[in-house]
Amino acid sequence: MSEQPMVDAPYGLLAELTYRCPLACSYCSNPLNMSGYTDELGLQEWKAVMGQAAEMGVLQAHLSGGEPLLRRDLAELVAFCSGVGLYTNLVTSAVGLSPSRAAELREAGLDHVQVSIQADDPALSDRIAGTPSFERKLRAMALVKSLGWPLTVNVVLHRQNIDRIASVIRMAEEAGADRVELANTQYYGWAWRNRDALLPGREQLEAAEVTVREARTRLAGRMDVLYVIPDYYSRYPKPCMGGWASRQLTVAPNGDVLPCPAAQSLPLPRASVREQSLAAIWHDSPVMNAYRGTDWMPSPCRDCDRREIDFGGCRCQAFQLTGDASRTDPVCHLSPDHSLVTDAVDAARTVTDLQLIPRPHRA
């Protein structure tokens, strides 16, 4: 049996403070089994996690959810993170970012804010979010800029909004964003149920890429435009999370530690900060070591020149599509399961106006 590779410290920690959320986005990739996560870590437990993370060498803490603003103790946690030297990024829908709340977070030392918005058109944005929220988000973005924070605007793209990408970019520009992230939908959780209504067509993608190229030229030096083509249309998969348990780790609301948020769906042993230190979990736990490095790989990855470039793609996607997380990501054109992806892409050509299934509220 081969030895596990030496493991560097993770670079970033995604802290999912709660899965509760005032929105009900039809592309939500968070877990569907909410009842497994209601026993949320308390403030002292989160402080212990952050202290251990800083000691391990983690540099960035992404405070996310669900909606992290639903945690009344958020500012206290931010102050603690700042105190131990972590760069803090709030990942929020911005619903609930009142002037007083923002001032409290500024005072606590929050470094960066990422606001998600569903489209540039109020009615469409509210429909995708499952709740009226567009106007509040615009006000919150203005507040973020007025307090001097760097602002990233995040828009999850899919069939229902990708044709508006030019005006989405313009909206971010008008909000004074330093960066716009045009993220294609990941088909986990509720998004998997809506996949056929969310998967864009090839013509839509080709038009979007032209728009992104033009915007990058026009906005060079003023606003970064991040855009990655969706997995289903790629020839090769992405090195998901930079490789399994290689650079990032996620702590779920109940203290479970995972290499990525979607990994909660995989049939792997659990590891919790309530039972072990973060460092012990990172280095030695079965969940982290399950797909680390290249020893676990099946054919064709095992003999492929790209095995240390993309690490066989995304384990969660392999599991979602084939029922086996150790298979080559079916996105790869060399995968024996690649037809699972091409069939979905072919079907997307003929889809006309499939309705999104709204996600139930979880606040």
Binding site for ligand SF4 (CB under 6 A): 236-237, 300-301, 304, 306-307, 310, 312-313, 328-329, 332, 334
Q: How far apart are CA 36 and CA 190, in angstroms?
A: 16
Identify which of residues 149 and 188 has a Cβ nearer to ligand FES in the complex.
188
Site string for ligand FES, 86-125 (x = CB under 6 A): ----------------------------------------
Smallest distance, Å, CB 307 to ligand FES? 15
Q: How far apart are CA 141 and CA 114, in angstroms?
A: 9
Contacted by 316, from ligand SF4, ligand FES, none: CB < 5 to 8 Å by type:
ligand FES
Q: How far apart are CA 99 and CA 120, in angstroms?
A: 23
Smallest distance, Å, CB 189 to ligand SF4? 23
Q: Among 307, 279, 278, 313, which residue's Cα sits nearest to residue 295?
A: 307
Q: Which of 315, 327, 359, 362 binds ligand FES (CB under 6 A)?
A: 315
Beta strands 224-227; 179-184: pairing state: parallel
Q: How far apart are CA 317 and CA 231, in angstroms?
A: 10
Q: Where are the alpha helices (DSSP H) in the chain?
A: 43-56, 74-83, 99-108, 122-129, 134-146, 165-174, 189-193, 195-198, 202-219, 278-284, 286-289, 315-322, 339-350
Q: Among 84, 77, 85, 87, which residue's Cα sits nearest to residue 108?
A: 77
Q: Which of 208, 212, 316, 332 binds ligand FES (CB under 6 A)?
A: 316
Contacted by 332, from ligand SF4, ligand FES, none: CB < 5 to 8 Å by type:
ligand SF4
Identify which of residues 276 and 294 has a Cβ nearer to ligand SF4 in the complex.
294
Identify which of residues 162 and 290 has a Cβ nearer to ligand FES in the complex.
290
CB 115 within 8 A of CB 94: yes
Smallest distance, Å, CB 21 to ligand SF4? 33
Helix, strand, coil share of the chain (percent; to 5): 40, 15, 45
Contacted by 260, from ligand FES, ligand SF4, none: CB < 5 to 8 Å by type:
ligand FES
Contact status: 240 vs ligand FES (CB under 6 A): yes
332 is an annotated ligand-binding site residue: no
Contact region with ligand FES (CB under 6 A), list: 31-39, 133-141, 199-207, 259-267: 259-267
Contacted by 310, from ligand FES, ligand SF4, none: CB < 5 to 8 Å by type:
ligand SF4
Beta bridge partners of 156: 183
Beta strands 12-16; 60-64: pairing state: parallel
Q: How far apart are CA 168 and CA 68, in angstroms?
A: 24
21 is an annotated ligand-binding site residue: yes
SS3 58: coil
316 is an annotated ligand-binding site residue: no
Identify which of residues 61 and 316 has a Cβ nearer to ligand FES in the complex.
316
Identify which of residues 70 and 271 has a Cβ nearer to ligand FES in the complex.
271
Residues that bind ligand FES (CB under 6 A): 240-241, 244, 260, 262-263, 314-316
* Residues of the binding site for [4Fe-4S] cluster: 21, 25, 28
